[in-house]
Structure 1
């Protein structure tokens, strides 16, 4: 990972995408270690975390994580999910945060040197290109080591630097009491 000490860094995390990528690699993220990693690499400016929330649930399983991130140095960007009926009559839930993330990147890009985007979503290829047109560096964090790869090829190729999340596993993976990386909480039945 190439981040120079003089570079001002902002981190943008597509929460649902990072969760799915870590799950595909069978580990949980230690967000405190993730934040420390980038705070020690350059001049850290801000870390954003994006996620949609199901509002009508009595208890949201993601709420404790959101609260922890909010109290521990992350700027939280959330919005309620929307329910709709698809063309086949099935109930669907939608909670896309791409526009919010894109707008926030473009608002801060002139104040930083390096954007680190935790997402493999190919919709962000044009965002990466726009950041580069501003003369800034963009790194994409996702993985090609899962089957199928979690990063869109066009996004990976557009990035100035691609960082495979699997290569960060030993640094930002949650550890158990013995210091071993905790596997993701996946139903293995």
Structure 2
């Protein structure tokens, strides 16, 4: 990976985007291993995880994951989804976290040397450019090996480094698991965190 041992590193994880990319590649993310992997590359200052939550449901499908991450080294940034009805009359949910991620990255830029963005969203190209002008190197983690590719070409071109998620599978991945009713013990691996959230983007 393109890191120096003395670098101050921060991770900015677009939760639904990373989840979709990993699923498209046929594996799940092991967040404990992911944190350890980047902590071993330099001085990990902060690991932000961004996701919207469906607040009015009795059980939120991603709540176990959010709670686990919150207790295990991640800084959680959440907000309620907005519900709407599409043209076919179906209930949908929308929860865009782009603004929250952009603000946090800009505020932290003066305290880090390397920002790692887990997203393929082309809307972040301008943010990456702004952070780079402040002297921060930016790596983007996504994939071009899915069909279709999950990263926008303009974001990949803007980044200092592109890290292919598929190449990280052996270090941070786990097999795609079936949903289970077991209690979440050490790690909530056997469930689909975004299964019931029809459209969180």
Q: TM-score, normalising length from structure 2?
A: 0.86
Q: Deviations over 1:98-129 (max 9, x none)?
A: 00000000010110000000000111001110
Q: Find the counterpart in structure 2 of residue 138 from structure 1.
A: 138
Paired residues of 1:119 and 1:142 also in contact (CA < 8 A): yes
Alignment pair present for 1:183 and 2:193: no
Q: Deviations over 1:39-71 (max 9, x none)?
A: 010011000000000011111111110010000
- How big is the shift at 1:91? 3.6
- How big is the shift at 1:92? 2.9
Alignment pair present for 1:18 and 2:10: no
Instruction: Provide structure 2 residue ranges, at least 5 long, that are not aligned to the other structure.
Output: 179-191, 196-201
Aligned mates of 1:146, 1:155 — CA distance in 2: 16
Instruction: Provide structure 1 residue ranges, at least 5 long, that are not aligned to the other structure.
Output: 175-181
- The structure 1 segments of at least 4 consecutive aligned residues displaced by more than 6 Å after TM superposition are none
Paired residues of 1:69 and 1:76 also in contact (CA < 8 A): yes
SS in 1 for 2:27: coil
Q: Deviations over 1:26-49 (max 9, x none)?
A: 001000000000101001100000
Q: Root-mean-square deviation (CA), in Å?
A: 1.5
Aligned mates of 1:108, 1:3 — CA distance in 2: 18
Q: Deviations over 1:127-186 (max 9, x none)?
A: 110111111100000000001000001000100000000000000012xxxxxxx13558
Q: Find the counterpart in structure 2 of residue 99 from structure 1.
A: 99
Aligned mates of 1:48, 1:146 — CA distance in 2: 25
Q: TM-score, normalising length from structure 1?
A: 0.91
Change (3 A) 1:53 1:42: same
Paired residues of 1:23 and 1:184 also in contact (CA < 8 A): no
